[in-house]
Amino acid sequence: MTNQSVYPWSNYGLKLSSGKPTTTVQYVTFIVQIAVLIVLNYLSVVLLGPLSYSGVSLFYFVYPFYIIFTIWWGLWGAIGAYIGGVVGAGLLVGVGVVPSLLSSFSVLFTALATFVFYRSFLSKHGIDPWCKI
């Protein structure tokens, strides 16, 4: 029997429950991902400042990064996207804590929709995040 689980959702991410310890490199990479998303969220709102409402951008160019990180990290990518939205597009721009937490649910919804679509549909049809055939 191979190491991969029959359940496709457990073959991805930080492997916290696969029996193998999570390495320091995985933690550092996850923290770097959150930092990148915070910076991109902040720039997305600040660069279009006159054209945007506080915490909301006219052209939100961070969504492709949410999708890529969610496919790569799974639920950890969705959590990183939410944290990046709360801090980068909310708190750093000057929006309060509660509005930042609430408005970032749109980011979380997008990441979770990607996660569910990718992991439940595409992975069952043989599409692997590591592009292995």
- Prediction pTM value: 0.75
Domain interval for residue 126: 37-48+58-133
pLDDT for the residue numbered 81: 92
Q: Per the structure, how many domains does the chain have? A: 1
pLDDT for the residue numbered 43: 86
Residues 81-102 have pLDDT tens digits of 999 999 988 888 888 899 889 9
Residue 119 lies in a domain: yes
Residue 124 lies in a domain: yes
Contact 83, 39 (CB under 8 A): no
Residue 16 lies in a domain: no
Residue 29 lies in a domain: no
Contact 55, 101 (CB under 8 A): no
